[in-house]
Amino acid sequence: HFAVVDRVWGTRVEDGDKALAKCGRARVETELEAWKQSCVVRHEENRFGCTLSSKMFIAIEFVMKHIAVKQAPAVEYQRGLILDAIYMENYLHSASEEERSSRRERRERKGDKGARGNRPRLEMRAIAKSIVKEKTQVIHGSGKPVSKSYTDLDAPKVDRVVLDYGDI
């Protein structure tokens, strides 16, 4: 028993979890790391800033630590946007495969000409594609969501500046 358990968990630890690989964990982490790097601004030789706050740092490592620790809500929000984009891409991919298989089935059945049933699905796909386009602009753009006409009052205030009157 123990030899089997050791073998199974040993390969899982060495190779990684196959289920997590299918979820796109590596892609989420690389896109999130790229977003964090895009939040770092170099002002001078030893002065770095963060686009999420007004703090200044002496090295990039400190900015990255600040983003991970102090800007955790913004990081989680960005992770959610990336996961939503991956989910939408997977949905569109599966919808296109379903559409191909339904076309194949219709070709196999002779005399069936019902093409009007696809219109709602095509409209939903067009809406989904526009959502993905908006989300990718947020992910690869400035990192801040583009507000249209709705303001979420419960969202974290990532661009709020807190003043300490002792510093004045």
What confidence tens digit (pLDDT) does each residue in 62-80 have? 999 999 999 999 999 999 9
- Surface-to-core class of residue 89, CB atoms within 10 Å of its CB (0-12 exposed, 13-18 middle, 19+ buried): middle
Its pTM stands at 0.51
- The owner of tokens 């303001």 is 151
Largest CA distance in the chain: 82
CB 67 within 8 A of CB 75: yes
- Surface-to-core class of residue 8, CB atoms within 10 Å of its CB (0-12 exposed, 13-18 middle, 19+ buried): exposed
Quick: pLDDT tens for 116-138.
555 666 677 777 777 766 665 55
